[in-house]
Structure 1
Amino acid sequence: MSSPTILILVREPTADSEALALALARQGAHALIRRPEALTVAIDGRSLTIMDGNGAPLAVDAALGWTSLAARDAGLWLLRALEQAGVPVMNRAAVLDGGQLKPVGSLVLAAHGLPHARTLLAGADADPDMLIATLGLPMVVKPCLGTKGGGVRLITDRTDLVTLLAAAAASRLPLYLQEHVPNSGVDLRIQCVDYRPSYAFRRHAAPGAFVTNLHAGGRAELVAPIPPALAALAMAAARAFDAPIAGVDLIESPDRGPVILEVNMTPGFFTAAVLAGDQRVVIEPAARAAADAIARGLIRMAASRRRGAALGHGTAA
């Protein structure tokens, strides 16, 4: 039997997609790295065919939905087409779609009773004094759709909040507001693969910065071993979202214990090592192990699909 072919659908080739392609190759699988713009879906009656840029049918056994916000519109419908064609996808389109929307993420955490930073989804007509009375100042505002720490900032006064409410009225989007949990500029990212914690690192904000994101200049510090209580919480969060791959961001509050900020559906599991500076030497082996674990999961999905096709239960992409 030929080696399985895994499609990696990406905004652009990154350290993550390259690491995963190598991990798949080490385990005897073949990776196809494609941007959504390179693919075409042919619909003929009830039949779907996924085609490469040259029009050749693309035969894949499983797919990784690594379509971040910049490729969201183009990527999500392609993931749905792949699923409809019988191709198993990690993370599924519905998981990626909901997980990328921060208000939906807060609702999922609340529905599963997981500790979450107090959050307000405020309409443009909300009374700013009521919002301040509920969350206090300072509070944090985040874009409903955002990544890499972009648009995340601290609101320190009423005037700033009133300005943001006016902007929300113009955009017809709610304000996504969270309490400011004191953290000394440090939070924790736990990378989960197959719903289980793979590795973790603390993120330290750059001097004078508010966000801890590594893309914004934050500093990484490997956490090993992961404390059991935090590992269990991260696993519960990944399962709440039904996300085999998830990055769980939380703050370790001395007064309240761990508080989840959000759960990322496309965490940079290998990019974290690339951006880790002098910590790369210790984080990279953990990131490589995460890539191997993702590859194993995709190969298992591919094998399951092939077994189904052999029994006549599958459809061809």
Structure 2
Amino acid sequence: MTVEPSNSTLQTLVEIAVSSVSTLESIYQAHGASFPSLDLIATVCPPNKHHTNLDGGGMYVSAGLQYIVETSIPDIMKEGDPKVMHVDEIASKINVPTEANGLARVLRFLATHHIFREVTPNVFAHNRTSSMFCKAKTLKEIRDDPVTQYNGLTSTANLGHCLDEGLRSAAHLSAWLQAPKGSIRVSPFLAAFKVDDIWRWFEQPGNELRRNRFGSLMSNTQWEAEIFTYAIRWDLFPETSTVVDVGESLRTVSMTLARKFSHLKYIIQDLPQVIDGDAGTRKFWAKEYPEFVQSGKVQFQPHDFFRPNPVNSPDVFIMRAILHD
């Protein structure tokens, strides 16, 4: 069980830290030894305990986080009593059958890692860390439209992706690295999900939530588009200049540039379903900047960036958030 520190407990903690440093220095000086390199927690943690944290505990934190995010427990607690909620009440509001005792053990384990607080036995509350796992939508909106539950400016899309696709891929990393060349797929992800192309996999029926979540995380985890307006002296380019934005999706770098440097021409490239889908790039531009679309100064070009680019000599290629692919 965790408790909120008071001023007196904080002062006590400082005093313990200071006295412990003095004790450690005295011991090392008495033995004529120099203090080892300061590797944060690993320095003060016994090696066997540190190994346990590395090879065992970490995966359970990830598994616990995956459970609470996928069942929207932070959102349930956000809309309940503003201070505390009993596990029985939380369990009754989860959209899948849940055993309260098991839920309590998960939340208690996370609380020992400073995610949630157990204020009294089986009664939990948010803290700063756990509140970051709340989604932007209300619980009703999440239930009414699960596919878009990760939409909005929060970190949950990235967390959900890493704990689903990422965690399963990580489990295949060692086998993938040790496999004879050519005997296994080209990445741990493709080996884990037994597919040959992540983008086509995202488009398969049943992956609507994952596809939408990935699009949301790509939109939410990038730098502000405005920084690109002063990255290059765009004002020095003549009116015949062309900017090709590769893998633009719905991100707004080109639109931000177009609003400020309307003398340039822009070509937006992405996969066909991204360009012309129901909520695709073409419709996004038509809604947000219709006059630029009507003027013909922006073009939309279906393109797979793993293939040779059909534009041979533009003035600028923008390749933001795609080189890692």
TM-score band, normalised by the shorter chain?
under 0.3
More helix by share: 2
More strand by share: 1
Larger radius of gyration: 2
Larger RCO: 1 or 2 (CA < 8 Å, sep 6+): 1
TM-score, structure 1 length as denominator?
0.26
TM-score, structure 2 length as denominator?
0.26
